[in-house]
Amino acid sequence: MKESYITTAIPYVNGNPHLGHAMDYLLADTLRRYMMYCGKKVRLQAGTDEHGNKIFKKAAEQGIPTQDFVDQNAAKFQDFIHSLGVEYTDFVRTTNPDHERRCQEIWKRLSDHIYKDSYEGWYCEGCENFVTDKEHDENDGICPDHKKPYIKLSEENYYLRISDFKDRIRDAIESDELKITPTFRKKEFLNLLKDMPDVSISRPKEQVEWGIPVPGDESQVMYVWIDALANYITILGYPDEDISDIWPADTQVVGKDILRFHAGIWPAMLMGLDLPLSHNLLAHGFITVNGEKMSKSIGNVVDPQEILAKHGLTPFRYYFLRHASTTEDSDFTWYKYEASYNELANDLGNLVQRLATLCKKNAVTGRKVNKVANADFDSRMQKYEFNFAFDILWDGISELNKRIDTEKPWAVAKEDPAKAKEILEKLVDDLLTIDDRLALFLPDCAKQIEEIFTASEITPPATPLFPKN
Ligand code: MSP
């Protein structure tokens, strides 16, 4: 069976993982679990982007050799991903010698589309991106995302001739051969593509020493994006190995800010290499704090470990998968987080406690998980509307709470114990059906619920799943 491949963006390792980084992983993990639920075999890549000046400078600031610095931070990202309950199959580091060598090989294979030219203009080190005069003037010379002044550059660089591929890229996106979700971002990108210039793919070594040398020109190193984008295939072994069993990717998950690199430069690279384009690009929205983008450079980052420490993993996943939108920006505040926790405790925690207690009293024994088709749920998942799919499950949970209230099995038991048992069995069956899909979002909690209601003797948990604050 051909494996399905899901990728996540590889974060820069100039600092600790922050809350914004969690979105890529949670969405990709949910998709992976859903595809596996549908019977597919899935590979999920994650990794770290370890080259470039901001990383080099940060290591120097801390007085640590750059390689040691990136080693430490890459480990932090791996721990972070695990702490989110996310299971990747492949982890790529761009300072890995295999990646570096394969990247140089990729460069050589793209050489027909590469030329050298001089550049004079603006650059944002936070974005690791060149900025047009128009963008510079519109933003008064300051990057709106990083709140830092653009720097003036005057240097010789190698360029990738995007113009060689522009028409084909546009056709692929318009026809959904490369499908961009959400549609408004597809439109936004198609507009951007019209004026997209050739892109710089190298920097002079005296400006950036922490990077992969350009093959055949020791005076230049690869500019971070070409190195970073290549990760999606170098980790599969390209070009040393045949990757046709796994490439193209089913879905590449990226934040909205880096969609243009994935919809512009990356398809150009793939076309230059004669590789097929990925099927889907999912551009998620941003987690904001008080309406502002969270960024290391701005200094308003929320530490995800602090949120995880508060109530554990399930409430974290619940908040960011149900109350954060897959495609729009979503704000985090502690107030909303507490409200979300209480909702989880009241709706799901209480249901489990109450139902398990009633089952125990009425000698209802463990039941089997019933798989029941749910076309609405599937349709939402297939459109990457994970938070709306999650809502469907929650409606089911609310419905079960209502049924307990209206069907009053404890009152029925006094008159007709067999009938009460029947009511409870049906409630447990329906809960287990929901729980089977809840596992895509809240795997640990869903497992616990399944264990409670499939055990030969149903026993309420000694402490509620979500204790009151
Ligand atoms: N290194 C590049 C990606 C290269 S992929 C070939 C990069 N790194 S990053 O650390 O700036 O961002 C990593 C991912 O986190 C991106 O998908 C980015 O959009 C996402 N996010 C960073 N801040 C975010 C939020 N505040 N909210 C949600 N996602 C955000 O870009």
The overall average pLDDT reported for the chain is: 95
Q: Which residues of 171-181 are buried (b: 16+ CB within 10 A; e: fewer)?
A: ebbeeeebbbb
Q: Summarize pLDDT for 361-370 with one digit per residue, the tens.
A: 999 999 999 8
pLDDT for 354: 97
Q: Give the type of residue at 158.
A: Y
Alpha-carbon gap, residue 283 to 297, rounded angstroms: 22
Ligand 1, atom 12, lies closest to the CA of 11
Higher pLDDT, 2 or 22: 22
Alpha-carbon gap, residue 396 to 385, rounded angstroms: 17
What separation in angstroms does the CA of 74 have from each of 92, 248, 254, 396, 422?
Answer: 10, 26, 19, 40, 54
- Among residues 103, 127, 359, 445, the one annotated as catalytic is 127
Higher pLDDT, 301 or 297: 301
Q: Classify the C-alpha dihedral 381-384-386-392 as positive or negative.
A: negative
pLDDT for 296: 63
Is 127 marked active-site?
Answer: yes
Q: What is the reported pTM?
A: 0.94
Is 99 marked active-site?
Answer: no
Of 172, 163, 166, nearest to 280 by C-alpha is 172
Q: Which atom of ligand 1 is nearest to the CA of 232?
A: 6
Q: What is the DSSP letter of 11?
A: P
Q: Is the CB of 12 under 6 A from ligand 1?
A: yes
Ligand 1, atom 9, lies closest to the CA of 11
Q: What is the DSSP letter of 113?
A: G
Of 101, 81, 102, nearest to 91 by C-alpha is 81
Stretch among 24-38, 225-239, 244-258, 293-307 having the lowest mean pLDDT: 293-307
295 CA → ligand 1 middle, Å: 9
In DSSP terms, which residues pair with 284 in a beta bridge? 255
What separation in angstroms does the CA of 370 have from each of 270, 437, 454?
Answer: 44, 11, 11
Is 293 marked active-site?
Answer: yes
pLDDT for 231: 98
> Highest mean pLDDT range out of 139-153, 213-227, 266-280?
266-280
Q: Is the CB of 35 under 6 A from ligand 1?
A: no
Checking if the pLDDT of 37 tops 70, the result is yes
Checking if the pLDDT of 469 tops 80, the result is no
How many CA atoms, within 13 angstroms, populate the side-chain half-sphere of residue 117? Answer: 14
- 3-state DSSP call for residue 160? strand
Q: Which two tokens stand for residue 154?
A: 């005057």
Is 38 marked active-site?
Answer: no
Q: Is the CB of 25 under 6 A from ligand 1?
A: no
Region 350-369: what's the mean pLDDT?
97
Q: Give the type of residue at 418.
A: A
9 CA → ligand 1 middle, Å: 6
Residue/partner pairs of 16-19 with CB below 8 Å, 24 or more apart: 16/73, 16/76, 16/303, 17/76, 17/77, 17/80, 17/304, 18/294, 18/296, 18/301, 18/302, 18/303, 18/304, 19/287, 19/294, 19/301, 19/302, 19/303, 19/304, 19/307, 19/332
Q: Which atom of ligand 1 is nearest to the CA of 24?
A: 17
Q: Which atom of ligand 1 is nearest to the CA of 21?
A: 15
Give the residue, out of 24, 93, 222, with the most ligand 1 atoms within 8 A of its beta carbon, to mutate for a pocket test: 24
pLDDT for 126: 83
pLDDT for 226: 96
Q: Is the CB of 267 under 6 A from ligand 1?
A: no
Alpha-carbon gap, residue 104 to 123, rounded angstroms: 24
Cα 21 vs. chain centroid, distance in angstroms?
7
- 3-state DSSP call for residue 181? strand
Checking if the pLDDT of 261 tops 80, the result is yes
Q: Is the CB of 226 under 6 A from ligand 1?
A: no
User: Could you tell me if 328 and 159 are in contact, meaning their C-beta atoms sit under 8 angstroms apart?
Assistant: no
Ligand 1, atom 30, lies closest to the CA of 20
User: Could you tell me if 79 and 86 are in contact, meaning their C-beta atoms sit under 8 angstroms apart?
Assistant: no
Using a pLDDT cut of 70, give the percent of the chain over it: 99
Cβ neighbours around 354 below 10 Å, total: 17
| Phi and psi, residue 339, nearest 5° | -65, -40
User: Could you tell me if 189 and 172 are in contact, meaning their C-beta atoms sit under 8 angstroms apart?
Assistant: no
Region 197-214: what's the mean pLDDT?
92
Show the DSSP H helices in 110-156 as ranges: 133-138
Of 125, 122, 130, 131, nearest to 146 by C-alpha is 125
User: Could you tell me if 170 and 193 are in contact, meaning their C-beta atoms sit under 8 angstroms apart?
Assistant: yes
175 CA → ligand 1 middle, Å: 27
Is 124 marked active-site?
Answer: yes
Give the residue, out of 7, 49, 252, with the most ligand 1 atoms within 8 A of its beta carbon, to mutate for a pocket test: 49
Is 21 marked active-site?
Answer: yes
Region 451-459: what's the mean pLDDT?
97
Q: Summarize pLDDT for 38-92 with one digit per residue, the tens.
A: 999 999 999 999 999 999 999 999 999 999 999 999 999 999 999 999 999 999 9
Checking if the pLDDT of 265 tops 80, the result is yes
Alpha-carbon gap, residue 219 to 156, rounded angstroms: 10
Task: Check whether the bond before 461 is cis (ω within 30° of 0).
Answer: no
Region 169-195: what's the mean pLDDT?
97
Q: Is the CB of 22 under 6 A from ligand 1?
A: no
Ligand 1, atom 17, lies closest to the CA of 255
Q: Is the CB of 55 under 6 A from ligand 1?
A: no
21 CA → ligand 1 middle, Å: 6
267 CA → ligand 1 middle, Å: 19
